């Protein structure tokens, strides 16, 4: 958690006030990203866009989600094992 706090430029205690450890922090970040992804998919499905437009939008959302989770994974790996 120390390395994560340093990378985020916040006090380590601030992280522990909200999360019991790296697992809790990772789960929170993953679930928030996944929930946002699911909400965007739901809105997209409810819309009147063409199938092509929906597929393009889905790929863009998925790309954004995977980039976000890759960044999270890099921070957690670095904090846990000291490597990226």
Is 14 within a domain?
no
Is 40 within a domain?
yes
Shortest CA distance to 76 belongs to which of 33, 29, 12, 39?
29
Is 2 within a domain?
no
pLDDT value, residue 13: 92
What's the pTM value of the predicted model, to 2 decimals?
0.57
- For residues 45 and 38, give the distance between their C-alpha atoms in angstroms, rounded to a whole number: 11
What value does the mean pLDDT take over residues 33-55?
Answer: 86
DSSP string of 9-71, one letter each residue: TS-HHHHHHH-SSHHHHHHHHHHHHHHHHHHHHHHHHHS---HHHHHHHHHHHHHHHHHHHHH
Q: Domain of 65?
A: 22-81
Is 10 within a domain?
no
Q: How confident is the model at residue 32 (pLDDT cuts 50, 70, 90)?
A: confident
What value does the mean pLDDT take over residues 24-34?
Answer: 84
Is 12 within a domain?
no
Is 38 within a domain?
yes
The number of domains in the chain is: 1
Is 69 within a domain?
yes
Is 54 within a domain?
yes
Query: Angle, nearest 10°, between helix axes 22-46 and 51-81?
Result: 180
């Amino acid at each position: 958690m120390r390395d994560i706090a340093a990378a985020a430029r916040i006090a380590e205690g601030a992280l522990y006030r909200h999360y019991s450890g790296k697992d809790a922090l990772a789960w929170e970040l993953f679930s928030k990203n996944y929930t946002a992804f699911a909400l965007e998919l739901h809105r997209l499905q409810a819309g009147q866009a063409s199938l092509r437009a929906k597929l393009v939008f889905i790929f863009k959302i998925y790309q954004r989600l995977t980039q976000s989770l890759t960044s999270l994974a890099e921070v957690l790996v670095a904090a846990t094992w000291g490597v990226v």
